[in-house]
Structure 1
Amino acid sequence: MAFNLMMDASAPQEIAGALSLQHPGLFFTMVEQAPIAISLTDPDASILYANPAFCRQTGYSLDQLLNQNHRLLASQQTPKVIYQEMWQTLLQRLPWRGQLINRRRDNSLYLAEIDITPVVNERGELQHYLAMQRDISASYALEQRLRNHMTMSESVLNNIPAAVVVVNENDRIVMDNLAYKTFCADLGGKELLTELDFSARKTDLYAGQVLPLVLRGNVRWLSVTCWALPGVSEEASRYFIDTALPRTLVVVTDCTQQQQQQEQGRLDRLKQEMTTGKLLAAIRESLDAALVQLNCPINMLAAARRLNGNDGNNVALDAAWREGEEAMARLQRCRPSLAQEESDIWPLQSLFDDLRALYHTRYNDGQNLSVELDSPHLVGFGQRTQILACLSLWLDRTVSLADELSDFTLYTQIYAREEDGWLSLWLSDNVPLIQVRYTHSPDALNAPGKGMELRLIQTLVAHHRGAIELNSRPEGGTCLTLRFPLFHSLTGGSR
């Protein structure tokens, strides 16, 4: 027998009728052997039939269920509003689906997902209710356990001070924590990973890297580390495939405090090295001054010896001259070497960055100390710490003089340029060159207690075969010019 399912709306009923005629017990057998619990009640919810699956699920036998109201299974744990909603729907001859907490014969509870369908005759009169229910207690418990794990994981992640984020194979975020959201808020709503250029740097970040980022106007140092995560497929198309698309765990830690401590430690070591260099220069300059002063009487003794001839009769004169020569030699041997580090080529910008960091607080958070390079690629040659000490000595002098002036705001400008094989540095400030208690000439800086800085600068610059020049500025203040030979001018080629 053929059935036209597409053209006739009553085809399903005709099929059912035909099957009933051909196989009278088929539908009963199907219901009896169905794995889902099925029951049939009258309009008052009295049970007229229950299949074996229903009996197994509830713990009641069929004889114990027949003619019993379905409320036999009620546990008093389901809110009344659920039952009210159910009956409002059923009385409108509409099917209802929901979850009820039912009680088995042994008083154990289970969560049932129930579908109830009103059964009406051809006149539209209600005759029965057909109910099918499944015990979803196990799946609900698993769902709740998963939800608890997710809640616990989310709580743990949100209490981690580091930003934690998981990205998929396209670097799109699939999970993040509260710390990451806070970073994004500090960036004005921008994605932190985008600002860190994560996609381009991802390969390097697997080894861990510290990156600077401006947040709310301040530089923060962030340590970024990545790990590959074993993925779990969520797509139906990958049900039979073991492999899953890769995901990446990214942990971003704010290590600004540690970075600042490391930087401060580096600056402290640099200060110590500069202090050592200044001290050696001071000792050397003092010994050189002593040698100059000692050289005059020794020369006079030598001249007297020549006038007395070579007969050796003047023993005292000869002894004095020899002791003077030995004293000169001892002083020469005591002169410390200024070569405390290897001469090298280094970028000038980093030198000035260190200088600004060293004088950050002394110059009103660095605002009154400006540095300008003729080219960002300028390099210097020599002992970097000593040249930094030269600049530091002059800034110390200007700050010291400015502190003696009332209602005075210090400004210092540094300009660097390469010219004719020399690296020229101009240090200009608005501090008057001539103080009232000194003579009216640039030599006033060499007065007791005020000229030591300039003499030490001269010693260090001379050690680098450089030149120094000091001038008054027409608009007031001073300008110190330091010139250092570049590498190629000393070697006759480029490095």
Structure 2
Amino acid sequence: MSVTSHLCVVEERMSKQQESAVIDMTPFFNGEVGSETAVSQFIQTVEQAPMAISITDTDANILYVNPWFCQTTGYGLQEVKGLNHSILSYRTTPAEVYQGLWNQLKKGRSWQGRLINRRKNGERYLADVIVTPLTDGEGETTHFLGIHRDVTETHELTTKLINQKTLVEAVLNAAPVAIALLDENQQVVLDNLSYKALAADFQQEPAKQIIAKLKEELGENATEQLRTRRFVEGHSLSLELKQSRGERWFYCKLSGFSAADSGVDDYFAPTASDYLVLTISEHTKEKRHQEQQRVSELQRMTAESEMMHVMQETLHAAIHQMQGPINMIEAAVTVLTGRSGKCPGLEAMEMALKSGADAVDQLRDALPDRPQEAQQPVNINQLVHDVAALSTQRLLKTSIPMQLKLTATLPSINGQPSRLRVAIKQLLDNAIDAIEFGKPQSREIEIQTYMDDESVVVLIDDSGPGVPQANKIKAFQPFYSTKPVASNGARGVGLSIVQQVMNEHCGSTLLQRSPLGGCRAVISLPRRERDRS
């Protein structure tokens, strides 16, 4: 049976609605099937197919359309029969698309694509179209079979999803924080540009370091707790990373959520996977600003404390120095008073004795009161870092490199942090002065900390001229100094201040020969455990 004969039968039975059946349509157009049953099945399939079907001649003039075509376009069969299929075309479809369509059909090939069509009422819709050439027994094209469906809503939904994805990516990439999505294996499955930049800076995955830090704080099952939302608001932590360019500080937050799996097997039995959202915001500038403010405040407090210590030590030393001659005068007056004859200079000596005693009393009254500071746990390493920060500008100005070799974990000691800070700074200042005034060929300072059985020890080494063995005890006496007389600052009170502070903390200070060639100052402070015992 020919295609034209089939079309006549179809037209006669357009209004009939029978139960649909899915059959292979190809044999009908090849003339292989001619039974009434097969024709009936073919008609039912075409008429009840949930897609717009049309058959045209080789010039695209419409010969037949099915009911779904009429429903989709708004045209009836009698309205479009004999008209060219271009009645559905709309000008916004590029001409190149139609040229490609006809080029394929002329080659005897099917064409599939999308066209912007126009309904009878002028409304436009997006059509997903398949056009296939129908051939006779000799392989010549006699008709074209067109199948299309309205995909406007699908296109709009897909476009919205793409736009939403683009918007989300734009928002994430514009965010001033690094964001990453981690799966159950802590692998990054989604991240923004800030996170990529952070990973490039560290040359490793930031998430791994953060997860490790998280497990330190919450335990090995921390990520499982977050994924299962044991912590409803997530968990925040601070991360400090050290690089060759300096330390950087970050504020990190992790929170968990679940998302439905998209596998085919999950369609009827949905399952979900747990994820972690990681946000990282850098606060290095704020941290450095806070550190600068802290150091500035430390400089102010340390300068005041140093001035107070210098004044106290100077006045104590002056009183001590004056007390010697006064004691000698007092002894002489006592001896002369015991004699029978009156000494002509006795009265003057008594007046001098009284004046000296009054002067000493005035000096004692002038001694400034030392600010009260409670005993508290002290981190020696932190004090060393503080002193290093306080001395940075002077070290740079004098071109003296300083190296810190601090034991990572030291027990704290009981003490007064401001007093201990002054003592360590006095020793560092002495080391800088020694190098500056001695002008050695090598200019370097090294500070070490370590712990022995009884004490926490601080070593301050310099490459200056050092202290002669005969003067290592004398160096702690008030007003003794190896500095030039014309040097600035208080001479001969630094080590006496250090000695006083060590006495207050049951510690000790020694001067030794340094491996660097200069002086090594050794501070030894008792551990808290020994203090308590």
User: What TM-score do the two structures reach when normalised by structure 2?
Assistant: 0.74
Selected match of 1:336 from 356, 361, 369: 369
The within-5 A match list for 1:90-239 is 90-188=105-203, 190-197=204-211, 201=215, 202=223, 206-214=234-242, 217-239=245-267
Match of 2:18 in 1: none
AA at the equivalent of 2:208: T
Match of 1:459 in 2: 500
- Aligned to 1:208, the other structure's residue is in SS state strand
Gaps of 5+ in 1: 1-9, 436-440
Pick which of 101-110 and 482-491 moved more: 482-491
- What is the rounded CA distance, in whole Å, between the counterparts of 2:286 and 2:516 in structure 1? 45
The reply on whether 1:65 has 2:106 as its aligned counterpart is no
Match of 1:444 in 2: 481
AA at the equivalent of 1:458: Q
Match of 1:249 in 2: 277
Match of 2:388 in 1: 356
Match of 2:419 in 1: 386
- Aligned to 1:355, the other structure's residue is in SS state helix
Alpha-carbon offset, residue 135 of structure 1: 0.7
The reply on whether 1:482 has 2:523 as its aligned counterpart is yes
Distance 1:374 1:225, change over 3 A: closer
Alpha-carbon offset, residue 252 of structure 1: 1.1
Identity of aligned residues (%): 26
Distance 1:115 1:476, change over 3 A: closer
- What is the rounded CA distance, in whole Å, between the counterparts of 2:39 and 2:451 in structure 1? 107
Alpha-carbon offset, residue 151 of structure 1: 1.5
Selected match of 1:427 from 460, 468, 472: 460
- Asked whether the 8 Å contact 1:45–1:129 carries over to 2, the reply is yes
Alpha-carbon offset, residue 244 of structure 1: 2.9
- What is the rounded CA distance, in whole Å, between the counterparts of 1:198 and 1:87 in structure 2? 63
Selected match of 2:43 from 10, 28, 33: 28
Distance 1:350 1:95, change over 3 A: same
Alpha-carbon offset, residue 143 of structure 1: 1.2
- What is the rounded CA distance, in whole Å, between the counterparts of 2:515 and 2:92 in structure 1? 95
Distance 1:199 1:60, change over 3 A: farther
AA at the equivalent of 2:401: N
Distance 1:157 1:367, change over 3 A: farther
Gaps of 5+ in 2: 1-23, 216-222, 339-346, 469-473
Alpha-carbon offset, residue 100 of structure 1: 0.9
AA at the equivalent of 2:259: G
The reply on whether 1:413 has 2:442 as its aligned counterpart is no
- Asked whether the 8 Å contact 1:294–1:328 carries over to 2, the reply is no
Match of 1:396 in 2: 429
- Aligned to 1:49, the other structure's residue is in SS state strand
Distance 1:466 1:227, change over 3 A: closer
Distance 1:488 1:140, change over 3 A: closer
Distance 1:328 1:419, change over 3 A: farther
Provide the alpha-carbon RMSD of the alignment.
4.2
- Asked whether the 8 Å contact 2:127–2:148 carries over to 1, the reply is yes
Selected match of 1:264 from 274, 288, 292: 292
The within-5 A match list for 1:303-382 is 328=361, 331=364, 336-337=369-370, 340-344=373-377, 346-364=378-396, 368-372=401-405, 377=410, 380-382=413-415
User: What TM-score do the two structures reach when normalised by structure 1?
Assistant: 0.79
Distance 1:120 1:396, change over 3 A: same
- What is the rounded CA distance, in whole Å, between the counterparts of 1:153 and 1:327 in structure 2? 80
Selected match of 1:75 from 80, 83, 90: 90
Distance 1:139 1:276, change over 3 A: same
- Aligned to 1:468, the other structure's residue is in SS state strand
Alpha-carbon offset, residue 211 of structure 1: 0.8
- Asked whether the 8 Å contact 2:319–2:360 carries over to 1, the reply is no
Match of 2:4 in 1: none
AA at the equivalent of 1:384: P
- Aligned to 1:30, the other structure's residue is in SS state helix
- What is the rounded CA distance, in whole Å, between the counterparts of 1:488 and 1:32 in structure 2? 96
- Aligned to 2:93, the other structure's residue is in SS state coil
- What is the rounded CA distance, in whole Å, between the counterparts of 1:196 and 1:209 in structure 2? 9
Pick which of 473-482 and 175-184 moved more: 473-482
